[in-house]
A and B are shown apart, each in its own frame.
Chain A
Amino acid sequence: MALFQTLILRVITTAVTLLGVAVIVFFVIRVVPGNPIAMMLPPGATAEDIANLTAIYGLDKSIPQQFLIWGAGVLGGDFGTSITLKQPVLELVLGRLPATLELSVLALVMAIVIGGAAALTGTRLRETRVEGGIDVAQGMALSVPDFLWGLVLILVFGVLVPVFQISGRVTPSLQLPFVSDFYLLESLLRLRFDLTLDLLSHMLLPALALAIPLAAIIGQLLKQSLKETMHLDYVTLARTQGYSEAKVIWSQALPNAILPTLTLVGVQFTFLIGGTVIIERLFSYEGLGNMAIDAVINRDLPLIQGIVILFAVIFTGVNLLVDLTYAALNPRLRHG
């Protein structure tokens, strides 16, 4: 019952937050020195042409009016039309979303695997040089943002030892039999592993760049958590029962150490998604972030709004999911 009430409260706060985001974006981008309409038209356009186009896009009305019109449209599922790409914003945005989602999820998985492995190894080999080395590596990985890691990876694996791709989502000459925009997923479902490989060779470096800082955070936090858990009596008891050190870490300590890490990972995952904006640009990856930068440069107001709102929805959605998962996994919250 309490869970239900908390849920309702969260939904309300989320709605307020999203509304706040919408308002801010809407008003901020309309204080724009650059006129998107003027940018769209050829240089010889007359004042009349500009006025007409402005009216078509509704930009001649007052800002609050525009907001209400836009808001009404949004509630009905209409996010307007992109000024530069001439297509419905919702369509465009949903078309690019899968690419960014696949990249983010791949990065998350990599971060969990790398960070988890580092934490478990550091715990199994605690008080040795290896653990010290892991600490140093994690410290460095944390200090440097994904943007720089991306550049380093481009240099090392794109130019120096060119094993992976540093541009685009997929090799352009390939024929893609996909119906959805979830290329990676579909390639697996269709058993077209040749395509999967090509996609992965393009996605690996950007995903890795995104993953490195998060892996370091996960590694640090989980290791700390494990360290504290390993001292507890039930772990010692398991040792007397005959379980090996590795088994003890895995089945006794880890399940309890994971919970505190989970909340942090959720928040950090939203940062990771935010990082896709610049990483996609860096790797010319055709995702939402890349489109967003173009939209801003071109002052494509409806598109900017649509993308920002979508990002905000994703962020708040992830936060909500994390809180729910935590509540579900923690037996004390479930039964207590």
Chain B
Amino acid sequence: MADGRFEVRRKAGLRLWLSAAWLILLVIVALFAPYLAPKDPLEQDLFAGRLPPFWMQGADAAFLLGTDSLGRDVLSRIIFGTRIALTVAVISASLTCLVGAALGLLAGFYRGWADVVVSRFIDIWMAFPPVLFSILLIAVIGPGLFSIIAAIVVIDWTRFARVIRAEAMTQGAMDYVASARVAGRGRFGILLREILPNVLPIIVVLLTLEMGIAVIVEAILSFVNLSISTDDPTWGGMISEGRTSIHQAWWVLVFPLITLFLTVLSFSQLGEGLKNRFDPVLR
């Protein structure tokens, strides 16, 4: 059909591949950071402070994307920042998924007391402004990689729990579960062998989306200077510094921002794409 939307659907496949490509690139960069980065990300050179990117006047070819106010190479810092971003993304998302999905499954499938307790917790949790809560937690636990991961898990488990709970409820009401009960299978066995495989696609989708969220939370926390430490090259930290010197050295803000933007966008598009792929199969 000569339908303008058909072309958009084809482009959606393209977007999926682009997102995946970017993320794979990030993984490679993170793994091979020490070999790819032209300079030491922590090395300061006060005589080379605030140098512009290579195509501009007054640039130094050694610093491709310019330097920040302490003379540190922007490109190298972004490259090493990838390690932190991806580490946080993968670990936090996985743990959040574990906790949230487990609670969601229990609440949705077993119902009764488990459901009441979990649901009440979710309600209370969702009454907190997420950013504030995470900042609070970091302030309490103190900065560091572990703290950020813990903060993300503690705050975002509700996202998984709600959706998985709803799914578990729907699946639990279906006939195949009833047949399994009649056949004498124990409830936990049903949960593991019947419900879980059917809920897995949604879990994968949420996991992908959660990684994007984790990257953002880390960036925000770095931005508010509550992340790892101000020396370590995090994208959020660079953005924070860049924000203050935005008129004098815009590149300190722009390049990490672009990287962050593309990364979050990619995780999101990948998650959405997976959701669309799984949906017609599920329903």
Q: Do chains A and B touch in the complex (CB under 8 A)?
A: yes
Residues of B within 8 A of A24 (CB): 124, 128
Please give, as numbers and ranges, the residues of chain A lying within 8 Å of B212 by CB-CB distance. Answer: 143
Task: Give the shortest distance, in Å, between A126 (CB) and chain B (any CB).
Answer: 8
The total number of A-B Cβ pairs within 8 Å is 141
- Given contact pairs A143-B268, A145-B216, A28 touches B140 in the complex (Cβ within 8 A): yes
Q: With a CB–CB cut-off of 8 A, which chain A residues contact B269?
A: 139, 143
User: How far in angstroms is the closest Cβ of chain B from A10?
Assistant: 11
- Near A by CB (< 8 A), chain B positions 253-268 give 253-254, 257, 260-261, 264-265, 268
Closest Cβ of chain A: how far from B138's Cβ, in Å? 8
Q: Known interface pairs A131-B5, A273-B129, A289-B132. Does A139 touch B272 (Cβ–Cβ under 8 Å)? A: yes
Q: How far is the CB of B168 from chain A (nearest CB, A)?
A: 21
Q: Scoring B residues 198 to 224 as 1 if CB is less than 8 Å from chain A, else 0, what string do you get? A: 000000000000001100100110011
- Interface residues of chain B: helix, strand, loop or mixed (majority): helix
Decide yes or no: A143 and B265 within 8 Å by CB, A17-B123, A132-B4, A311-B129 being known contacts.
Answer: yes
User: Judging by beta carbons under 8 Å apart, are B124 and A296 in contact?
Assistant: no
- Residue contact B132 to A127, C-beta cutoff 8 Å: no
Q: CB distance B264 to A143 under 8 Å?
A: yes
Q: Across the interface, do B5 and A132 meet the contact criterion of CB distance under 8 Å?
A: yes
Q: Are A145 and B246 in contact (CB under 8 A)?
A: no
**Is there a chain B Cβ closer than 8 Å to A202's Cβ?**
no
- B235-246 CB mask vs A (1 if < 8 Å, else 0) is 000010001001
Q: Are B127 and A159 in contact (CB under 8 A)?
A: no
Identify the closest chain B residue to A159 (Cβ).
B246
Tell me whether B239 and A151 are in contact (CB under 8 A). Answer: yes
Complex Cα–Cα for A335 and B203 (A)? 41
B192 on interface, CB distance cutoff 8 Å: no
B139 within 8 A of A: yes
Nearest neighbor of A311 in chain B, beta-carbon distance = B129
Given A274-B132, A296-B139, A311-B128, are A158 and B246 neighbors across the interface (CB < 8 Å)?
yes
Contacts of A142 in B (CB 8 A): 268
User: Is there contact, CB below 8 Å, between B254 and A296?
Assistant: no
Name A158's closest neighbour in chain B (CB-CB): B246
B residues contacting the other copy or chain, number (CB 8 A): 45
Number of interface residues of A (CB under 8 A): 59
* Residue from the list A132, A147, A155 in contact with B250, Cβ < 8 A: A155
Interface of A is mostly: helix
Task: Bits for A118-132, please: 1 = Cβ < 8 Å to B, else 0.
Answer: 000000000111111
Complex Cα gap A135–B127 (Å): 31
Q: Does A329 reach chain B (CB closer than 8 Å)?
A: no
- Is the CB–CB distance between B140 and A148 below 8 Å? no
Q: Does A67 belong to the interface (CB within 8 Å)?
A: no
* Contact (Cβ within 8 A) B224 A147: no
Q: Which of A31-39, A42-50, A168-176, A189-197 contacts B (4 or more CB under 8 A)?
A: A31-39
A301 to chain B, nearest CB (A): 11
29 residue pairs of the A-B complex, CB under 8 angstroms, read A20-B120, A24-B124, A127-B3, A128-B4, A129-B7, A133-B8, A139-B269, A140-B265, A142-B268, A143-B269, A143-B272, A147-B220, A148-B260, A151-B253, A155-B250, A155-B254, A270-B126, A274-B131, A277-B129, A282-B223, A289-B132, A293-B224, A296-B139, A297-B139, A297-B226, A308-B136, A311-B128, A311-B129, A312-B128
Chain B residues in the interface with A (C-beta under 8 A): 3-5, 7-8, 11, 120, 123-124, 126-132, 135-137, 139-140, 142, 212-213, 216, 219-220, 223-224, 226, 239, 243, 246-247, 250, 253-254, 257, 260-261, 264-265, 268-269, 272
